[in-house]
């Protein structure tokens, strides 16, 4: 669990928390506009080209082998960012490459290591494992902000390369050997008449597409992640546009990571005690309140800080709820493959949100319009997750014994019994 937590924290998640801090410095040095920089959120759309294959790779060959590719390649992209000349096309190209690599060192891969090992306390295990990332973000945000302010953003990216390389290596050592899941003979295989034989990814997808729970989770993840570009790269700009000084804005943004920690822990505890769809409607509805408050004319520090904290509380719940619902509604042998399509919904939402944000900024040069749209769509996403409670499960509550492949069936004789 600790290895998975460190893998997420020093993989894609670290960049998620730190991009906010690099944005203002690079905009100031290179003369980029806020509307141009907002297009960074389109880059994760690149993952749709490869993420289903990454999910399949993880299911078939195990977590450790899959994550190793990302641990080697991600630090190289940060070194590339540290030597940029200022051409925004180069920045987008490197960010595009990061998006292709990110899920190999993200929740798609590492949460599988957790759900394989925990059952009765799976919600809390996911919570604790995924809390390492926001904890690292809360600690590193002010530290990285100081490094950028004192030594420049290029040094900051070099530090990022060092952190992702060392942290990822430690994660691989801690999770140890992770064998591939036993996949065939599962409920989905029995349903399709292919038990005991390998199926194509297309055959698996056809079966899943008939499951209401699968569609609702994908839809819910799309709408809940529409504002992802805001929390991933624009929070610092949102807070400073509201009148907060740069130093105060950095500390307010660090409350986002703190909120993620609190929300993730509370959500993990609730998932093991309360039906997941009730947890979803409460936890994932919270960002709407925060977005509305940020769009309001009130700019007192406690209002800005409280709004960011509220957004963080819900963002902490989102990852746990998605992973938990997948593991409880579907066979674990297909966990990473299903997670891949849920992640695709996240990235499409982030890309669409980036385009909408860029356009609204071009029109008004303010974030208020986008914040209002984000509030409405977040509520729709929370409702979709809530409706999974009324959808027929694609797979019953899965216990570890349920994911073993079915072997040949033989009737025992009386003497054998």
In a domain, 198, yes or no: yes
Does the pLDDT at position 78 exceed 50? Answer: yes
Does the pLDDT at position 278 exceed 50? Answer: yes
Percent of the chain with pLDDT over 90: 10
pLDDT at 57: 84
Q: Comparing 161 with 404, which gets the higher pLDDT? A: 161
What's the CATH number where 267 sits?
Answer: 1.20.1250.20
pLDDT at 199: 64
In a domain, 166, yes or no: yes
User: Dihedral, CA atoms, 282, 284, 285, 289, nearest 10 degrees?
Assistant: 120
pLDDT at 71: 92
Beta-carbon neighbour count of residue 161 at 10 Å? 18
pLDDT band (50, 70, 90) for residue 170: very high
Q: Comparing 321 with 17, which gets the higher pLDDT? A: 321
Q: Which DSSP string corresponds to 84-104?
A: --S-HHHHHHHHHHHHHHHGG
pLDDT at 397: 44
* This prediction's pTM: 0.70
pLDDT at 406: 40
In eight-state DSSP terms, residue 274 is S
Q: Picking from 128-132, 227-231, 288-292, which range would have the lowest pLDDT averaged per residue?
A: 227-231
Range of the domain at 151: 2-397
* Mean pLDDT estimate for the chain: 79
In a domain, 91, yes or no: yes
C-alpha span between 384 and 403 (Å, rounded):
28
Contact of 132 with 9, CB cutoff 8 Å: yes
Mean pLDDT of 402-415: 47
pLDDT in tens, 13-24: 887 778 778 888
Among 157, 132, 125, 130, CA closest to 23: 157
Number of domains, the chain: 1
Query: Highest mean pLDDT range out of 73-87, 127-141, 166-180, 303-317?
Result: 73-87
pLDDT band (50, 70, 90) for residue 255: confident
C-alpha span between 265 and 10 (Å, rounded):
19
Contact of 17 with 135, CB cutoff 8 Å: no
The full length of the chain comes to 417
pLDDT at 128: 86
Does the pLDDT at position 186 exceed 70? Answer: no
Query: Highest mean pLDDT range out of 19-23, 249-253, 314-318, 382-386?
Result: 382-386
- Long-range Cβ pairs for the range 279-282 (8 Å, 24+): 279/317, 279/321, 280/220, 280/317, 280/321, 280/325, 280/382, 280/385, 280/386, 280/388, 281/382, 281/383, 281/385, 281/386
Mean pLDDT of 209-225: 88
pLDDT band (50, 70, 90) for residue 392: low
pLDDT band (50, 70, 90) for residue 264: confident
pLDDT in tens, 354-389: 888 888 888 887 777 888 898 899 899 989 999 888
Query: Any residues with CB less than 8 A from the CB of 118 and at least 6 apart, and which?
Result: 1, 125, 126
Mean pLDDT of 329-348: 84
Query: Any residues with CB less than 8 A from the CB of 302 and at least 6 apart, and which?
Result: none
Does the pLDDT at position 178 exceed 70? Answer: no
pLDDT band (50, 70, 90) for residue 413: low
Q: Comparing 412 with 33, which gets the higher pLDDT? A: 33
Mean pLDDT of 326-338: 85
Does the pLDDT at position 230 exceed 80? Answer: no
Q: Which residue has the tokens 């302010």?
A: 149
Mean pLDDT of 319-348: 84
pLDDT at 17: 74
Contact of 316 with 264, CB cutoff 8 Å: yes
Mean pLDDT of 345-350: 82
Contact of 12 with 135, CB cutoff 8 Å: no
Alpha helix positions (H), 152-285: 153-175, 187-192, 201-208, 212-224, 228-229, 235-241, 246-271, 276-283
Mean pLDDT of 214-227: 88
pLDDT band (50, 70, 90) for residue 76: very high
In a domain, 105, yes or no: yes
Mean pLDDT of 224-251: 71
In a domain, 403, yes or no: no
């Amino acid at each position: 669990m600790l290895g998975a937590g460190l893998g997420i924290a020093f993989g894609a998640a670290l960049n998620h928390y730190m991009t906010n801090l690099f944005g203002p410095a690079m905009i100031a040095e290179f003369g980029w506009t806020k509307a141009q920089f907002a297009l960074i959120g389109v880059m994760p759309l690149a993952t749709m080209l490869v993420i289903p294959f990454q999910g399949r790779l993880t299911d078939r060959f195990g977590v450790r082998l899959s994550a190793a590719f990302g641990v080697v390649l991600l630090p190289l992209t940060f070194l590339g960012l540290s030597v940029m000349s200022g051409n925004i096309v180069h920045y987008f190209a490197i960010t595009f490459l990061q998006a292709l690599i990110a899920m190999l060192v993200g929740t798609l891969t590492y949460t599988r290591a957790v759900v394989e090992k925990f059952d009765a306390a799976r919600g809390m295990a996911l919570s604790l494992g995924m809390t390492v990332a926001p904890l690292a973000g809360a600690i590193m945000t002010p530290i990285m902000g100081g490094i950028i302010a004192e030594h420049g953003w290029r040094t900051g990216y070099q530090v990022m390369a060092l952190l992702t390389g060392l942290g990822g290596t430690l994660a691989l050592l801690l999770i140890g050997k992770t064998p591939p899941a036993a996949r065939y003979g599962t409920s989905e295989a029995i349903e399709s008449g292919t038990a005991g034989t390998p199926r194509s990814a297309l055959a698996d997808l056809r079966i899943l597409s008939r499951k209401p729970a699968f569609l609702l989770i994908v839809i819910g993840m799309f709408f809940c992640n529409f504002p992802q570009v805001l929390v991933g790269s624009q929070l610092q700009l949102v807070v400073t546009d509201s009148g907060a000084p740069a130093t105060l804005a950095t500390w307010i943004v660090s409350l986002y990571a703190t909120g993620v920690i609190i929300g993730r822990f509370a959500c993990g505890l609730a998932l093991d005690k309360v039906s997941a769809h009730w947890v979803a409607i409460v936890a994932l509805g919270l960002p709407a309140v925060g977005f509305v408050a940020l769009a309001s004319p009130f700019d007192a520090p406690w209002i800005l800080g409280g709004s960011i904290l509220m957004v963080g509380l819900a963002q902490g719940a989102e990852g746990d709820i998605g992973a938990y619902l997948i593991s409880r509604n579907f066979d674990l042998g297909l966990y990473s493959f299903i997670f891949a399509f849920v992640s695709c919904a996240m990235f499409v939402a982030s890309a669409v949100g980036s385009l909408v944000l860029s356009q609204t900024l071009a029109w008004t040069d303010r974030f208020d319009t986008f914040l209002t749209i984000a509030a409405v769509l977040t509520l729709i996403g929370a409702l979709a997750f809530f409706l999974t409670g009324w959808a027929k499960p694609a797979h019953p509550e899965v216990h570890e014994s349920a994911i073993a492949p079915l072997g040949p069936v033989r009737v025992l004789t009386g003497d054998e019994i």
